[in-house]
Structure 1
Amino acid sequence: MRPPDSVAWTRKHDDRLDPVFIPAGIGLRYYPESLRDLVQIVAGADQAAGVAIRPCGSHWALSDAVAEPGFPGAIVETHGLNRTLYDVIPSCLRTAVRADLVGQSPATDGQWDEGAYNLYHVEAGTRIYELYSRLDRQDPAWPFPTDSLDIPALGGSWAPPTLGGAGGQTIVGAATTSTHGGDLNHPPIADMIQAVHLVGAGGRQFWVERARFSARVPAPMSDAGKLAQVLGPLEIIQDDDALNACLVSVGRLGIIYSVVLKVVRQYGRRQTRHRREWDEVQRELLDPNSPLFSKRFLQVVVNPLPRFKDRRHSCWVSQAVAIPARDPLPASWRGRAQRAGAGAGVNPSIDHKPGDLYTVICRSHADFAEPFAVCLGLLRDLAPAARLVPFVGIRANREIDEIIVELVNLSRADPMSVGDFVANVCNFLVDEGHAWLLPAIMEAFLEFGQGDIPDERPAEDISYAMLDGWDYSDRDCITNADSIEVAFDAGTDLGVRFINESLIPRTNQLVDGKLTGKPMAFGGYASMRFTGRTEALIGIQKWDRTCVIEVAGLRELSGIGPLLDQLESDAKTMGATVHWGQRNQMTRADVDAMYSGIERWRGVLARLSSGGDPQTFSSAYTRAAGLEPP
């Protein structure tokens, strides 16, 4: 195991110009590479009175879910725990579960049976892009655990049933903060988990799974006797509440070492996207029989700033269906080559080609080598007067040249990253009385980033390449961001009302100066996605169909913090749940109001903490949110 150190610790989206989140010399960082390492670290921390310990995945969280600024305790970096495991699956399965697994029908080329499943056991620090590459059999170093059974029905490629919009998070980090996709009738990522191997307070080990594996097999997944033989001394808990507490646990129950996942046969996705008017789409969202809800996937991206000429709001509606993944894959599907195997976690998304403007900009270094040329080029490419005129009228012709000159002078004086530059453009426009240009710039950016995918020429590719839209070659464009995500019962009008009664008016108040007492800038979007219900006791997707709304913008925007804080407050008042991994200010009162299962969750925490210090995995964040024993 790599020796512990006390290096500076930051989150992926922290601004490099801000004070370091946890400076060097404060607390310790541990780097386990095995279960034994992890148990030793946790047991040692438990013996050191008053030393808290927190797990960390890929540093993607925007909240203080891992630790608060200046956290004095220990942080366990789990990225060294990224192996596929072969000791439990299939050897420890109950006879009935094993029979159900191997008794499935083999795959039929040209058809996709979503009900077919396989089981995959993996360490907690495995990144999502590593996982989907292995499931698709693009990483020969990690075969399937069930390959040893030599059953035709379990051969071929497999996939996560759903994913969020990126694959850089660890599978456990994403799951335990309630990260989700946009598949209408499918629960979030956490619900893939069938069992958890957890290291709790004092270094005690737990194997946690449900009492009922499935409707067809109303018994636990594993044979407890076989588990004990393979894994040694640990407490085996086969209880629904216990696993459902672990699914979304924000690192408070202990440090998860590994998970068993239920995965589906590999499939493709076919997607369309259309630019539409928000005032029309919102009416359709209130109709449960609307064609919007007729496909597998639905996302609506809304520009919260109105167009200058008609004061209407643009939105972009994406829909997708599942399609069979034939063997061999169609020649037009380039996602496997670009996103899996050697391309996993390296390349831009399939939306962006290596030579296009977006990818070239995002691959630039942290500071512009020639700020004048780059800034002027950006303005000409993304927001020239000719393109602004349709949005804001001929007024742009009189002032745009003067604004460009001032912005170029600004960039000369203070070289900055592309993301910082765009944010500073927006801040400058507001400060200099040109806020009327913000809607046009945001419209141009959203149109550039979304773009139509017509029905007659839909985009289609292998599942994970369509779902993971992250540009892993990016060094400047995406990382400088901040966002909140709130969830509502999609069977009500609350999601639409949040857009109309909170997001849109609050954004206008921010730019006008009424929200904070001075005009402030915002540039970003709202994204509405829909999911099924989670089994997690404190998962945000607690309704049969949940509408999840993400509001995101560049971190350097002067108004991003005040706006997101106000939106979170509004959403809570309207009965929303709030994403654990994104910006939030959760209190115990909030959590008690949001989750009817919170006392059961706290009861599981008390059980898993017995025999050790119950504060081992506590932090200022978990204490504020009431994620503590009863």
Structure 2
Amino acid sequence: MVWQSQSFVGKRRLQTVLRTWNGDVCFVAKELWEPAHSEEAGTSSGLSDLVTAIVSAATANQRLMTAGSAWSFENLIQSDGWVLSLKNLNRRLHYVTDGDAPALSETWRQRQTAAHSKRRLVHVEAGITLGALSQLLQANRNEAWSLPTLGGTNGQTLAGAIATSTHGGECEQAPLSDLVRAIHLVTDGGRQVWIEPRSEAVTDDARLRAVLPYEDTEIIRSDELFNAAVVSMGRFGVIYSVVLEVTQAFNVIEVVTAVATADVLQALADGVSTSEPLAPLLSLLAKLPYPQKPNVQSEAVGGVYSCQLVCASRNTRRCWATRRWVTRENAIPLNTPTDPRAVHVLVARAARGLARVGAALGVPVGPSLCRVLSLGFDRQTQEGRRGPFHLLASGTAGASQHIPYVVDAIEIIFPVRAPQLARFLDVVFTAAEYYEQAGFIAIRPSRASSSTLSMHNVDDSHAYAIEFATLKHMHGSKKWLQFIHQQALLHGGRPHWGLYNKLTPEDVYRLYGEKCHRWHRALWSLTRDSMRFSSDFTRQRGLDPSSLRLIMAARRNSAGEITHLAGGPDAAWSPISVRDAIADIRSGTQSYAIASGADLSFIVETEGTRGSEGELSAVPSHAPADRLLAALPTMP
């Protein structure tokens, strides 16, 4: 029996216009559901309201997209069905991790309740924004906590941030998705699933079941499912809540220093062949002079914690390095961020207006805007900052909620040792001045991710993210982003899921390879071929079961060898010859799989025994003779 509320508490709106933050995506949702809490029913009422909305979508046979703050630049929330908003589901939850940590494993319970623990688990609803989450973690000054990594803004919901692998520039921290230790997911039909990695489980089954609001919630411990479901662009269902591992709140000092871009590019190239790939860059930056305040030599504790290199996008010969170090707990604040002042808002609006006028009149204003931006970077070198990490990393919540400008942006991620990175940067830096655009280019290092489809899940210890942002409405902005996207694909870089991203299914497979198969297997194991949470975005990028060709039968020759593969009776592509299927698999244009209950095995090409001709096998293969293919019924 599905557990849901007797009546829907939240708001339900018909024919609602929705648009993303930068305005690129605008559509009319047939229905917008906003689940909410009923104060009388306590914190679980929001969950029951959420389940009610999902059950209603299934009953009406409607697709259901999840909307957070709509900060994605792409159509992740767009479809021909309903939209569900998480904005009211933003509370801290206490029944798993707080107090005497009743649901945690014995190991984690001891860590959680230890008086001097530096790390702690916190359980929150996924509709909370990152800014509100930071405020919540800092609410108790005697026991303040912090996310150890943050992006430059904090208006995203937690669900949206982890689902698209939002990240910061902390050298030894992976993206936000890697802070997640458990997720409470509600999927098709209102089915509730609690998912943790088997290798790093944080709860005990019996203890957890005793405190969950719905006693029939499924508890699944699987590394493959967990790693796939965290960064999933909403495709697995609605993330209701997450357990995060946070760190004791800490202060940082920050300085900005100018450096020649050519020297930076050389340092990045030098890191390709070293065992410590960030060392050449950090060594270069260590030679630069510091401002008088703060005193880095006496105040810094340990090595560089965060690093960002930024330049004006029409003047790439010089860049500015922002570095942060952890400092002492009782550090006195210095130039800490505040909500935007009126003068800052006016300057930003003036720049936006100038961009519009330039586009309308065909007058190039990009160089002038970038000179102003460079002056602003120079001003930051005069004196650094000191204060809580979350404030210096992402500013105030108010600043993120009231950004006075709109940009177009793309971000490309490379493994830190990728030789193509230097070539990519050389090409785009050289081409930048030929496009009528104005903004910045930023390079940020971070740890690699374990989330299956995170852009940072690279075969290396670290990754570099290169962000290109330009003021919207400039007539060259879209062409600039298109050029960067094209060059990224040519050089093997992965576009951020939440920014400008025009990947095709073939692109996704070329960039992620076997990780696509792992992700699809996990999706199939949980939802089979359900299309309830299918969006325009996931369909266009091959992240739906409908993008797979499921093999139901085979045609064989007189020797018993498979010559053709066949799908179901409605499969327009069926039958297809083995030779053509191999060509599809080689090019990445199509994936073929065999479904057996909860298992999904992909058909791949293996080295042929007859000259250079390839053969087919199914992976994961559960028998030496590859019985999955051998067991396919013979088609007439």
Q: Which amino acid aligns with 1:507?
A: A
TM-score by length of 2: 0.73
Report deviation, 1:3: 3.0
Is 1:314 aligned to 2:318, yes or no?
Answer: yes
Q: Which amino acid aligns with 2:203?
A: S
Report deviation, 1:545: 1.0
Does the CA-based 8 Å contact 2:155-2:400 persist in structure 1?
Answer: no
Distance 1:53 1:419, change over 3 A: farther
Is 1:92 aligned to 2:17, yes or no?
Answer: no
Report deviation, 1:117: 0.7
- Relative to structure 2, which stretch is displaced further, 264-273 or 315-324? 315-324
What secondary structure, in the 3-state scheme, does the structure 1 residue paired with 2:198 have? coil
Cα distance between partner residues in 2 of 1:419 and 1:22:
28
Does the CA-based 8 Å contact 1:193-1:260 persist in structure 2?
Answer: yes
Q: Which amino acid aligns with 1:264?
A: T
Does the CA-based 8 Å contact 2:414-2:494 persist in structure 1?
Answer: yes
Distance 1:331 1:602, change over 3 A: closer
Cα distance between partner residues in 2 of 1:331 and 1:316:
23
Distance 1:247 1:135, change over 3 A: same
Is 1:497 aligned to 2:423, yes or no?
Answer: yes
What secondary structure, in the 3-state scheme, does the structure 2 residue paired with 1:316 have? strand
Cα distance between partner residues in 2 of 1:486 and 1:550:
6
Q: 2:355 aligns with which of 423, 448, 458?
A: 423
Deviation per CA, 1:170-228, whole angstroms, max 9, x where unpaired? Answer: 11211110110001111011111100000011110000011122xxxxxx211112222
Cα distance between partner residues in 1 of 2:235 and 2:252:
36
Kindly report the root-mean-square deviation, in angstroms, between the aligned alpha carbons of the 2 structures: 2.3
Cα distance between partner residues in 1 of 2:206 and 2:522:
23
Partner of 1:608: 526
Cα distance between partner residues in 2 of 1:426 and 1:88:
55
Query: Residues 273-422 of structure 1: matches in 2 within 5 Å?
Result: 273-288=256-271, 289-290=279-280, 292=282, 295-306=304-315, 313-326=317-330, 330=332, 332=334, 338=338, 347-348=339-340, 354=341, 357-361=343-347, 418-422=350-354
Partner of 1:254: 237
Distance 1:418 1:74, change over 3 A: farther
Query: Residues 574-613 of structure 1: matches in 2 within 5 Å?
Result: 574-595=491-512, 596-610=514-528
Report deviation, 1:478: 4.2
Cα distance between partner residues in 2 of 1:587 and 1:464:
36
Is 1:166 aligned to 2:127, yes or no?
Answer: no
Does the CA-based 8 Å contact 1:484-1:583 persist in structure 2?
Answer: yes
What secondary structure, in the 3-state scheme, does the structure 1 residue paired with 2:87 have? helix
* Larger RCO: 1 or 2 (CA < 8 Å, sep 6+): 1
Is 1:469 aligned to 2:395, yes or no?
Answer: yes
**Structure holding more strand per residue:** 2
Does the CA-based 8 Å contact 1:12-1:479 persist in structure 2?
Answer: no
Identity %: 26
Report deviation, 1:295: 1.5
Cα distance between partner residues in 2 of 1:169 and 1:191:
17
Distance 1:450 1:170, change over 3 A: farther
Does the CA-based 8 Å contact 1:207-1:235 persist in structure 2?
Answer: yes
Distance 1:471 1:440, change over 3 A: farther
Distance 1:331 1:274, change over 3 A: closer
What secondary structure, in the 3-state scheme, does the structure 2 residue paired with 1:461 have? strand
Deviation per CA, 1:130-152, whole angstroms, max 9, x where unpaired? Answer: 1111111259xxxxxxxxxxxxx
Cα distance between partner residues in 2 of 1:419 and 1:478:
10
Is 1:237 aligned to 2:220, yes or no?
Answer: yes
Unmatched segments (≥5 aa) in structure 2: 1-8, 37-45, 272-278, 284-302, 549-636
Is 1:442 aligned to 2:388, yes or no?
Answer: no
Partner of 1:41: 53
Q: Which amino acid aligns with 1:621?
A: F
Report deviation, 1:80: 0.4
Cα distance between partner residues in 2 of 1:332 and 1:181:
22
Partner of 1:368: none
Q: 2:463 aligns with which of 537, 546, 553?
A: 546
Cα distance between partner residues in 2 of 1:76 and 1:361:
36
Report deviation, 1:608: 1.8
Cα distance between partner residues in 1 of 2:538 and 2:267:
39
Partner of 1:128: 130
Partner of 1:309: none
Does the CA-based 8 Å contact 1:269-1:460 persist in structure 2?
Answer: yes
Partner of 1:351: none
Does the CA-based 8 Å contact 1:117-1:262 persist in structure 2?
Answer: yes
Is 1:27 aligned to 2:39, yes or no?
Answer: no
Does the CA-based 8 Å contact 1:487-1:576 persist in structure 2?
Answer: yes
Deviation per CA, 1:469-508, whole angstroms, max 9, x where unpaired? Answer: 368358986442111111011123433322211x234334
Report deviation, 1:291: 5.2
Is 1:226 aligned to 2:151, yes or no?
Answer: no
What secondary structure, in the 3-state scheme, does the structure 1 residue paired with 2:411 have? strand
Does the CA-based 8 Å contact 2:352-2:405 persist in structure 1?
Answer: no
Partner of 1:187: 174
Distance 1:509 1:490, change over 3 A: same
Cα distance between partner residues in 2 of 1:331 and 1:499:
36
Distance 1:92 1:530, change over 3 A: same
What secondary structure, in the 3-state scheme, does the structure 2 residue paired with 1:530 have? strand
Q: Which amino acid aligns with 1:39?
A: V
- Relative to structure 2, which stretch is displaced further, 465-474 or 233-242? 465-474
Report deviation, 1:334: 5.1
Partner of 1:561: 478
Report deviation, 1:54: 0.5
Is 1:621 aligned to 2:537, yes or no?
Answer: yes
Distance 1:270 1:250, change over 3 A: same
Distance 1:174 1:477, change over 3 A: closer
Is 1:572 aligned to 2:489, yes or no?
Answer: yes
Deviation per CA, 1:336-385, whole angstroms, max 9, x where unpaired? Answer: xx5xxxxxxxx23xxxxx36x324545xxxxxxxxxxxxxxxxxxxxxxx
Cα distance between partner residues in 2 of 1:131 and 1:247:
18
Report deviation, 1:333: 7.1
What secondary structure, in the 3-state scheme, does the structure 1 residue paired with 2:304 have? coil
Query: Residues 515-554 of structure 1: matches in 2 within 5 Å?
Result: 521-543=436-458, 544-554=461-471
TM-score by length of 1: 0.74
Cα distance between partner residues in 2 of 1:199 and 1:597:
24
Does the CA-based 8 Å contact 2:251-2:389 persist in structure 1?
Answer: yes
Q: How many residues align?
A: 494
What secondary structure, in the 3-state scheme, does the structure 2 residue paired with 1:604 have? helix
Q: Which amino acid aligns with 2:31?
A: L
Partner of 1:80: 88
Cα distance between partner residues in 2 of 1:189 and 1:474:
18
Does the CA-based 8 Å contact 1:273-1:451 persist in structure 2?
Answer: no
Report deviation, 1:58: 0.6
Distance 1:29 1:479, change over 3 A: farther
Does the CA-based 8 Å contact 2:63-2:531 persist in structure 1?
Answer: yes
Unmatched segments (≥5 aa) in structure 1: 108-115, 140-154, 214-219, 307-311, 339-346, 349-353, 363-416, 511-520
Distance 1:235 1:11, change over 3 A: same
Q: Which amino acid aligns with 2:525?
A: R
